[in-house]
Every structure is written in structure tokens, then in C-alpha cells.
Amino acid sequence: MPSAIINTGTHPKLLWPGIQAIWGQVYDQHPTEYTDLFDVDSSSRAYEEDVQIVGPGLATIKPEGKPGSFLGEAQGGVTRYTHVPYSLGYIVTHEELSDNLYEEVSMRRAKANAFSMAQTVEHVAAFLYNNAHSTTYYTTWDGKAVCASDHVKVSGGTWSNTLTPSADLSEAALEDICIQMMDMTNDAGLKISVMPRSLHVATAEYFNANRILKSTLQSDTANNNINVLRVTNAFPEGIKVNHYFTVPGTWFVRTNVQNGLKFLWREKPSLRSDYLESDRLAIAALYRHYGFLDTRVDVRLESTRDPGAARVVFVIHEGPRSLVARVALEGVAAYPERELRRALYAQPGKPFDPAYLHLDTLRISQLYQERGHRPHTLASAVRRHDDSLQVDVRYEVLEMHQGATIDGELRPLKAEEKPSLKLAAANM
């Protein structure tokens, strides 16, 4: 796993110019799929419970003059939903934010975090289906696996919600499971209308499922018979592929039965103010790289049809663009000034990017070192008083040969003195 704290050592390449592309943070993601697997609801309690009520069976004949039979009820199984918290975030040092030359990396971090949270939800939801035939992680109130052939009836006997024996996805298997649904009864033995709604498959079965349900005639046979599953619209909500099923041959059928599998949200991933602030600052920093030094970014939240969701709107006030008016080079003697100017990022007439100061300092140092010098460069930029959109850039170069040392003198200033730094260079 990557380090929990993002600092300048996490990706040192981003501190140096010349990278053509940065990839791996964010990709296109699949549409939401867990809502196809569960009935999604919300919760305001530490846990929720579903309680089964078993009603009466068939009515009985009432003899003349005798009392009739009366309704009886019994409590059946109890299912408890206990909430589990999940969390994910990132920590960035101030130095990394300041020195990272590629603002898109910072802007993608919140998206990458949201991408991970969304996938966590999908994995948690699919985990139940991936273990539906095992009692290792999940059991129903009767101690059985979610899909079992011997679920217990309170009134006695058992019932099944899986094929026995199990079968790979095929036209015959789908017909068998549909027939099994048609014959289902409730706990009191009364016939109930259980109808298939959708077929859920792993990616390895996606094309097979489409051939079975959408062929005009029977699939994989020379018989000239109609495709009954297609003609009768046996699965009205169609095929739902799930990218998080881990068993290649997995397939499930969801029905119209109420209070089936539920996904309860105690609290959805929140709209965090620190994420909004991070995005706001990243947008403003990106604009400054293109010369818009006075860019202001405001955040506005708008309501949506979903009371638990909001639309985030970033309002960008660009302002005018600032340009490099003049580039001054001072102290340059050992290197041809014209060649040095051509190598700089800061050029008169170009939009001013504050990162130029850092990049040009590195560039000057690199060029000088190629000629056996070890310079000390002080970079500064000043906006003109008469025209704040014009920026004067200045580089002071103290040239030294390899092996030179710098002795510095630092002392408190008197009130009448101007700030200064005294440097003395001596060749070794």
C-alpha cells in the first residue's frame, strides 16, 4: 500500500518539469451496480430488524350452528441489520502542495478518493452474493446460507431458493428456476405469486446470458422452436452484469418478493467541506499557472431531487491575465546572457506563472553546472504599480566555481537599516 501521508518524497518526479503524462489516479468507472442487487433504504438507528409473521392457512368448512375457525398468527424468523462504518481519506503535507508542479494531480485526489469509496460500496454489496452458498460470513435467521435448499419453515418443513442440484447458466436452468418460483408457497402453505424480475450474471456469463434470453429461436440447438424466455418476457428487467462477482460462472435471479435482500444506509459518504476547499484551492492554483493571478473560486451547493444529495457548483471569477513584462538577469558573466535568456521559462509577453521562478532557478543552476559553476540564484517577481497586469521578473545570479563555499553573516537589523544579506564567496 502507498504511504498514508503524501509528501514530496511520495512522487519526486512531480517536482521537476518535463513530464508529458501522469496516469493511474482516476479512470472511468462502471455505473452504480449495487442498487440492482438490493432494495436500498436508509436507517436512523444503531441496528434494524425484520420480523416474519406467519399467518393462517386455508379456511375450513363451518358446520351449521357451529362457530367458524379463527385467524391465528405466529412470529417467525428475525433478521438484524448491524451497521458497519467505512472510512477513507488522504493527508498531504504543505510542502508537497507547494512544490508539486502538476496541479492536476492535486485536483484528482478527491476524485480518486471518491472512486475508492464507490468501489468499496460495490465490493461490500457483491460480497454477500459471492458467499451466498456458504455459511462462513452470512447466514439467514434459520442458520442456513443465503441460497440453500433446506430453509426452515416455522410451520414445519423446508423450502428452497436454489436449484438442486446446482446448474450452470443455461436455458434449461432458467426454465427450472422459473418453474420452482411458480410452485412456491408461504410458510402456511398458501400459493404465492413469485415472479422473476432480472437475471444477474458475472462478466464471464454476460454474452451467454444475452444469447439465451435474446435469441429469436432456442439458443445452441437446431430445433426450430421459439425462445420461450424471450417471447414471454420472463425477465422483464433484463440482464444485469455485475463486475464485482468473483466466481466466473455466478448467476442469480431477483424476484418481485417484497422485503428481500436489503442494503441499508446509516450515513452515505458525506459531502465534506475539506474536500470542497481542497478542490477550490486546486482550481485557483491551476488558473494561476496560466497567468490569472487574481482568480477567485466560490463554491455553491444546489439541491437536487434526492434529498440526501447536492449538486456542487464551482463559480470561477477568472479576472484579467497577467503577463511577463520584463526579465532581468543580474550578475551573469560566466554564461552567455542571450543563451541563458532563451533557456528561461519566463519570457516577455508570456502569461506569468509563479512556478517560473522555481523552474528557472533550477534551469540556471543546471546550465551553470554543465560549465563547472555552482551558482546561487535569487528569483523574484514584482507586479508594477502603474499596471498590475505587468510583472517584472528578476534573477540575481552569484557565480561560483566548483568547490567554492559561501559564508553568510546574519545579524539583527537596526531600525534605520534596510534588510540585506551579506555573502562572501571564496575559492577553495
Set out the domains of the chain in order of their start, with CATH numbers. Answer: 5-57+70-265 (no CATH), 273-317 (no CATH), 323-426 (3.10.20.310)
Measure the CA–CA gap between 352 and 290, rounded to whole angstroms: 7
Angstrom CA distances, 255 to 131, 150, 175, stand at: 19, 19, 14
Rg, Å, the chain Cα set: 35
Measure the CA–CA gap between 269 and 285, rounded to whole angstroms: 27
- Grid coordinates of 210: 444475452
Between the CA atoms of 99, 104, 110 and 113, what dihedral angle is there, to the nearest 10 degrees? -100
Q: 405 near 423, Cβ under 8 Å?
A: no
Q: 242 near 199, Cβ under 8 Å?
A: no
3-state secondary structure of 73: coil
Measure the CA–CA gap between 154 and 56, rounded to whole angstroms: 12
Could you say which residues of the chain have pLDDT below 70? 1-4, 6-26, 94-108, 110, 270, 306-308, 401-428
Cβ within 8 Å of residue 295, ≥6 positions away? 283, 284, 287, 288, 316, 317, 318, 319
Measure the CA–CA gap between 200 and 206, rounded to whole angstroms: 9
Q: What is the pLDDT of residue 375?
A: 87
Half-sphere exposure of 389 (CA within 13 A, CB side): 10
Is the pTM here over 0.85, yes or no?
no
